[in-house]
Amino acid sequence: MRIAQISPLFEAVPPKLYGGTERVVSSLTEELVAMGHEVTLFASGDSITTARLAAMRDQALRLDPSVKDWVAHYMKMVEIVGQRAHEFDVIHSHIDYFPLGLLDRQRVPFVTTLHGRLDLPEFKMIYETYGHTPYVSISDHQRLPIPGLNWARTVLHGMPKDRLTPQPVEQKYFAFLGRVSPEKGLDRAIRIAARAGVKLKVAAKIDDADRAYYDRVIAPLMTQDHVEYIGEINDDQKPEFLSGAHALLFPIDWPEPFGLVMIEAMACGTPVIAMRRGSVPEVMEDGLTGFIIDNEDEAVAAVARIPELDRAKVRARFEQRFTSRRMAEDYVSLYEQLIAEKKKPHLRAVSGGN
């Protein structure tokens, strides 16, 4: 099958540090190639892939301070994909609503995976404008703000089975991994760790957009003795970081569409203590891969139950549910369905002509 993958341009594929969507696109692309498909990846030129790389610019947008209007780069990419659409059996977009107007009018089957939140009024307006085009959700909960879209299916994220693995290290702290922003709940994690009397290591990105929040709310909390900020980390650093944690704290305060860090922790055998928001109940299995809590008091109570969890079973559930092979097989099944559906009107027209 000839497959086009359209990636965001903010980070390389895979990202050097933080970058959830680009990391998923990388996992999917590499697995599709391993399965024997002919994949073209539209992404930044500093991406690394076994697919055919169609470099849309030399480097990722976040690494290029000269970029003043990032939308222009996306519109150029969409036009290039449109011009090459005839080369593919299916086109798979990961860049939100940008390509809908052009690629929806192509004869080639086209599908969009929505990776972000949908509970903003502008999103409802734009996606319902193209409500007939096929969409993939990354959790069932993500669909709730716009339930009437043409949802083709839900495909939970996956990652390579051996990218992150349990390491033989002693567990000495709680881990917080991801991004410093109000919705990610780092302030909650700091309070939970303090009440539990456990050190918290914070491996997180601070975006320019969240700098004021960090300076006002988080920076004063980071001066406490039980908190250690180690900055952004890459995939090579994650296995030891996550394996050394009693648990990953994931006390989010927003409708998280998926939460890739949960399965990264599970891949290392590390249980997760997560707030019951968004996709958490679909990803986590309470009492098996961690604990789902509704407030900080329950989080502190869950700490005492961590010894009940078997880290080997946490890893086993990752292998059963969240590998990139399972994700790629789900998408291939969808691609085949879309291709078959696209052919139906043509076959009827041919039959009628006979």
pLDDT reading at 280 higher than 80 = yes
Answer for the pair 267, 315: CB distance below 8 angstroms, yes or no.
yes
pLDDT tens for each residue of 7-55:
999 999 998 876 789 999 999 999 999 999 999 999 999 999 999 999 9
Q: Which pLDDT does position 345 carry in this prediction?
A: 60
Higher pLDDT, 199 or 62: 199
Q: Exposure of 166 by Cβ count < 10 A (0-12 exposed, 13-18 middle, 19+ buried)?
A: middle
Higher pLDDT, 148 or 345: 148
Q: Is the pTM of this model over 0.85?
A: yes
Local structure of residue 284 (DSSP, 8 states): -
How far apart are alpha carbons 267 and 183 in whole angstroms? 24
Q: Which pLDDT does position 352 carry in this prediction?
A: 41
pLDDT tens for each residue of 256-272:
999 999 999 999 999 99
Polymer length in residues for the chain = 354
Mean pLDDT rounded to a whole number for the chain: 94
pLDDT tens for each residue of 215-254:
999 999 999 999 999 998 988 999 999 999 999 999 999 9
pLDDT tens for each residue of 106-143:
899 999 999 999 999 999 999 999 999 999 999 999 99
Q: Which pLDDT does position 354 carry in this prediction?
A: 36
Question: Averaged over 289-301, what is the pLDDT?
Answer: 97
pLDDT reading at 349 higher than 50 = no
Best CA proximity match to 323, nearest among 27, 13, 39, 35 = 27
How far apart are alpha carbons 167 and 296 in whole angstroms? 29
pLDDT reading at 348 higher than 60 = no
C-alpha dist (Å) from residue 232 to 80, 258, 270, 317: 33, 20, 19, 27
Q: Which pLDDT does position 52 carry in this prediction?
A: 98
Higher pLDDT, 314 or 343: 314
Residue type, 28: L
pLDDT tens for each residue of 70-120:
999 999 999 999 999 999 999 999 999 999 999 888 899 999 999 999 999
How much of the chain, in percent, has pLDDT values that exceed 90?
A: 88
How far apart are alpha carbons 196 and 305 in whole angstroms? 12
pLDDT tens for each residue of 310-330:
999 999 999 999 999 999 999
Q: Which pLDDT does position 334 carry in this prediction?
A: 98
Residues with Cβ within 8 Å of 221's Cβ and at least 6 positions away in sequence, in order, are 186, 187, 190, 227
Q: Which pLDDT does position 225 carry in this prediction?
A: 95
